[in-house]
Amino acid sequence: MSIEIKFPQNSVGLVETKFFDINDEIELESGVKFDSITIAYETYGELNETKDNAILLFHALTGDAHAAGYSSAEDKKPGWWDIMVGPGKTFDTNKYFVICSNMLGGCKGTTGPSSINPKTKKPYGVSFPVITIEDVVNVQKKLVDFLGINKLYSVAGGSMGGMQAMQWAISYPEMVSSVIVIASTSRLSAQGIAFNAVGRNAIISDVNWNNGNYYESSNAPDRGLSIARMVGHITYLCEEAMHKKFGRRFQNKDVPDFTFDVDFQVESYLQHQGEIFVDRFDANSYLYITKAVDYFDIQNKYNSLENAFSKTDAKFLVISFSSDWLFPSSQAKEIVNSLMKIQKDVSFCEIDSPCGHDAFLLEHEQQERIIKSFLNDIGGANE
């Protein structure tokens, strides 16, 4: 007798992570030629007969291919963007065929530094080549080709995912009908690069990092990776959010301990975030992915944003959040103004939110209205 598994209403339900092996050699932006790449990906909804209803989603810094639904009946939490993907939701799987893949350099199924190098039969470690956002997009293109899709209805992502969305419009303008950029930037600020540098140095300084060769050891650079995550979390929040959530409250007491142990609630929160992060992420992947984000600078690479976007005819939606100081609205407006200068179709919305950079993962109600309207205006899918 089979037991029916009950999932929340409008969930895509049980999903399977699939894998695609690229047989072609890919030349990376650095000039390194790389092969033996496996891509982990998930899909939600059905591809229509004309194959024109596909939406490609991109995860943020430490995300993966599991954007929605549940990997097993025992899962306590759904995919990282489950509030946005599913029947009747923002990315409506009754209408769209939604794709999400783990990025090149990741540690959730797609080839990265923790993967086995077929030549040495050992994990790549830091012998893995340095990658860029353009390299990540070129690998995703191979997956889209494999799925038989010639044109994407939309590409969408928040934070680093927004960088990938813009790069898709630049690298493959003929394949993209619309672009949704959320809480992102055309280039990381010096302050953003600085925070990433501190995180990387925390990992590299960990005695267990061992120049990236820690996979066969019982001791991984967990302390360094934990600190890197703590630093990252500070940038994802904002002063208002931290004050509302923690204030200056002590942890389970009314007076200080007068020690260097955890005293404040905010300290306890950051420590917890660091501790749980090391169970799901690879330290070397953190090094490679943050470096790829640092290198992303389409304004410099193409001499101007206007030049970068000159070949695309896609419609753009750019969303920012008022309290996001990591990728502030001023950087989003820079993208919007450049698109307007070259007479591209672009819409912009700044959402008032106290959640900081993390708002794109939390403030789904306003995003839903904005994005649904934008996608409906494009036309063509399941009409």
Catalogue the active-site residues.
Answer: 159, 324, 357
The count of other CB atoms within 10 Å of the CB of residue 41 is: 24
C-alpha dihedral sign at 366, 368, 373, 375: positive
How far apart CA 370 and CA 362 sit, in angstroms, is 15
CA angle 280, 33, 148 (to 5 degrees): 70
Residue 44: beta bridge partners? Answer: 98
Locate tokens 């540098």: which residue? Answer: 197
Alpha-carbon separation of residue 376 from 74, 90, 148, 217, 242 (angstroms): 35, 11, 23, 52, 36
Give the amino acid at 267: E
Strands 315-321 and 346-351, bridge-based pairing: parallel
How far apart CA 6 and CA 262 sit, in angstroms, is 40
Coil, strand, or helix at residue 178? strand
The helix or strand, by DSSP H or E, that contains position 201, with its residue range, turns out to be helix 190-205
How far apart CA 157 and CA 148 sit, in angstroms, is 22
